[in-house]
Amino acid sequence: MSNGTMGGNGKRHYKLMIVDDSNIMRRRIERSQQFEDLQLVGTAANGEEAIELFKKTDPDVVTMDLTMPRMDGIECIGQLVALKPAVRILVVSALADKATAVEAMERGANGFLNKPFTDRQLNEAIAELMR
């Protein structure tokens, strides 16, 4: 990923946005991610909020739930990718059916993590995304 911003020490910094209708899940992802160079710029509870926030904060990495009110993750992924084709999106969802995962990937998601997950699984999935 070459679209992050350079920090003062020459390290690249990436901006993270977390999208999930569960406050508990948003906080869990925020606490669990262990990357010093990944800075949380915002959290959203649905797809509409995510798009507004995305335009303001321009994140590089997004974790995306699929089942949310007002606008679901599938539609939101398509809109975020249209705004910034280089964005990296990790779908974090309990919906394990393959068709949904495939549709998310077709819309532009880069990875899929099933809920429930361990901290290690989350960090491995994010690391994969940032490679």
Q: What's the whole-model pTM score?
A: 0.91
| Residue ranges for the chain with pLDDT beneath 70 | 1-11, 96
Could you state, in order of their start, the residue ranges of all structural domains in the chain? Answer: 12-130
For domain 12-130, the CATH superfamily is: Response regulator (3.40.50.2300)
Helix, strand, coil percentages (3-state) for the chain, rounded to 5, are 40, 25, 35
Torsion angle defined by CA atoms of residues 59, 119, 45 and 56, in that order, rounded to the nearest 10 degrees: -10
Dump pLDDT digits (tens) for 64-98.
999 999 999 999 999 999 999 999 999 999 976 78
Distance CA 53, CA 58 (A): 8
Type of residue found at 127: A
Check residue 2 and give its pLDDT.
Answer: 47
Distance CA 70, CA 82 (A): 19
